[in-house]
């Protein structure tokens, strides 16, 4: 019998544009997603004994466990990968907990209300605030530029690049994408094809924030420039909501209603010198600069899963930026380095007849931005036969987390 841990349920709240969820709190959304996921699995909260999250989730497991009335919390875990890099790592950690017997039913969750807290797209504005010397009163002129002392590693690393105006993820990720274009002739239209394909998938997904908004390649090209070469429509959404998935043993999964879906491979990590990824990795190996930094991780993942890129029926690839999708397609071996542009332009990512149906929910570009946990939800759905853009006979699915920062990925397979 396969001893691998299984994904047995998924739950989501409503997804909205950022700032539109105002009648409840972020942590109440986490509770809602968790209870829906457990219900979807056909389990009871009384059976949950582990919670895991990532991306410095504000909704701490110890408090959620108390509010949920979890009988005995046996596993609570947070991943040390920045932002969206840790989503699949949180799954990996839950899998390890289940497979080693530390816990039996672990819920991985992510809640993100950008309206109630800071917007990630403007997150560095908060860093900038920390970098400013404080005026004694608001009525006085601000003091002249000065050094601000920091003993925190993140602030030290960011403090070395912020004086140049490096404050947003879009600017950070635009740098390697521009060089990819320079080296390989990748075009903005090719990036646009990724956005258009995922939008077509979102238009079929009743949960997608962009359900009713179509996008043409011309509209992509005409959308306003954010940080060249990235247009607005090359960037993921900013949304409110929460989602969760339930991980349990193969044995327990067999007793539940859904088709058993095993996590057959997991990998997490970063290449040498990666630190905070595209924000701070100017000195990584030249050969890695125009990649998602996930090539080594991909090799480990395929080896562990015992499958390769040719075996993947459907993929959920973290899409914070179109160019980052393209780099991951190269890192994971779906095409050769530098060939991501022609690959996506061929229509490969379409659910309807593409060679690698990808982000069948619309992804973060068009469904919702849940720091990539919604990609895991859609990955499981696509093997349960529940996707709104269902790939026929899909049995093996790759799910990745944010590239261009320390990252993680999993392979799911129907049993």
Taking the complex as a whole, the smallest distance from the CB of residue 281 to other proteins amounts, in Å, to: 10
Q: Does 191 bind other proteins (CB under 8 A)?
A: no
Binding letters toward other proteins, positions 286-315, x by CB under 8 A? x--x--------------------------
Let me know: does 407 contact 400? Beta carbons within 8 Å.
yes
Residue of 118, 133, 135, 214 interacting with other proteins (CB under 8 A): 133
Q: What are phi and psi of 202, to 5 degrees?
A: -65, -35
Size of the site for other proteins (CB under 8 A): 55
The answer to whether 369 is a known catalytic residue is: yes
- CB of 321: closest distance to other proteins in angstroms? 12
**Residues 6 or more apart from 195 whose CB is under 8 A from it?**
215, 220, 233, 234, 322, 365, 366
Q: Look up 109 and say whether it is catalytic.
A: no
Burial of 387 (C-beta count, 10 Å sphere; 0-12/13-18/19+): buried
Judged by CB under 8 A, the residue of 35, 102, 130, 304 near other proteins is: 130
**Residue 136 binding other proteins, by CB under 8 A:** no
Which of 115/229 has CB closer to other proteins? 229
Contact residue for other proteins among 162, 195, 215, 370 (CB under 8 A): 162
Start-end of H helices in 237-307: 250-254, 286-289, 295-305
Nearer to other proteins, 154 or 250 (CB): 154
With contact defined as beta carbons under 8 Å apart, do 302 and 333 qualify?
yes
Tell me if 392 contacts other proteins by CB under 8 A.
no
Distance of CA 206 to the CA centre of its chain: 20
146 near other proteins, rule: CB under 8 A: yes
**Minimum separation from the CB atom of position 369 to other proteins (A):** 17
Min dist CB 283 to other proteins, Å, is: 5
Rounded CA-CA distance 110/12 in Å is 10
Q: CA-CA distances (angstroms) from residue 200 to 188, 214, 328, 370?
A: 18, 7, 21, 19
Among 195, 227, 262, 380, indicate the residue that binds other proteins (CB under 8 A): 227
Residues 6+ apart with CB under 8 A from 142: 132, 133, 135
Of 73, 127, 250, 256, which lies in the binding site for other proteins, with binding defined by CB under 8 A?
127
223 lies in the site for other proteins, by CB under 8 A: no
Q: Are strands 239-248 and 225-227 parallel, antiparallel or unpaired?
A: unpaired
- Asked if 275 and 157 touch (Cβ cutoff 8 Å), the reply is yes
Query: Which residues here bind other proteins, judged by CB under 8 A?
Result: 122, 124-125, 127-128, 130-133, 142, 144-151, 155-168, 170-171, 174-176, 178-179, 181-182, 224-230, 272-273, 280, 282-283, 286, 289
């Amino acid at each position: 019998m396969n001893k691998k841990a299984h994904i047995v349920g998924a739950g989501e709240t409503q997804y909205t544009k950022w700032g539109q969820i105002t009648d409840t709190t972020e942590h109440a959304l986490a509770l809602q997603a968790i209870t829906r996921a457990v219900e979807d699995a056909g389990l009871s909260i009384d059976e949950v004994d582990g919670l895991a999250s990532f991306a410095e989730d504000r909704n701490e497991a110890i408090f959620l466990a108390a509010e949920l009335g979890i009988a005995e919390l046996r596993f609570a875990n947070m991943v040390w990968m920045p932002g969206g890099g840790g989503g699949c790592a949180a799954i990996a950690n839950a899998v390890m907990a289940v497979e080693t017997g530390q816990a039996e039913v672990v819920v991985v969750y992510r809640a993100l209300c950008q309206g109630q807290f800071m917007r990630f797209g403007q997150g560095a504005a908060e860093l900038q605030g920390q970098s400013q010397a404080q005026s004694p009163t608001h009525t006085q002129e601000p003091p002249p530029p000065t050094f601000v002392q920091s003993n925190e590693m993140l602030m030290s690393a960011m403090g070395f690049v912020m004086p140049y105006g490096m404050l947003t993820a879009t600017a950070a990720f635009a740098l390697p994408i521009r060089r990819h274009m320079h080296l390989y002739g990748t075009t903005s239209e090719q990036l646009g094809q990724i956005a258009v394909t995922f939008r077509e998938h979102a238009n079929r997904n009743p949960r997608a924030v962009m359900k009713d908004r179509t996008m043409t390649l011309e509209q992509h090209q005409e959308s306003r420039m954010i940080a060249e070469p990235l247009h607005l429509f090359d960037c993921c959404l900013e949304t409110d909501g929460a989602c969760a998935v339930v991980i349990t043993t193969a044995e327990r999964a067999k007793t539940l209603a859904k088709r058993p879906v095993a996590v057959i491979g997991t990998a997490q990590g970063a290449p040498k010198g990666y630190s905070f990824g595209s924000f701070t990795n100017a000195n990584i190996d030249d050969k890695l600069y125009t990649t998602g930094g996930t090539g080594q991780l991909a090799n480990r993942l395929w080896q562990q899963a015992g499958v390769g890129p040719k075996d993947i029926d459907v993929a959920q690839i973290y899409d914070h930026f179109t160019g980052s999708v393209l780099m991951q397609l190269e890192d994971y071996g779906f095409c050769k380095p530098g060939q991501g542009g022609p690959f996506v332009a061929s229509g490969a990512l379409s659910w309807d007849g593409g060679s690698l149906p990808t982000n069948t929910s619309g992804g973060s570009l068009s469904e919702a931005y849940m720091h990539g946990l919604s990609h895991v939800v859609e990955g499981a759905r696509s093997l349960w036969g529940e996707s709104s853009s269902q790939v026929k006979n899909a049995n093996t699915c790759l799910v990745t987390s944010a590239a261009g920062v320390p990252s993680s990925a999993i392979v799911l397979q129907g049993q």
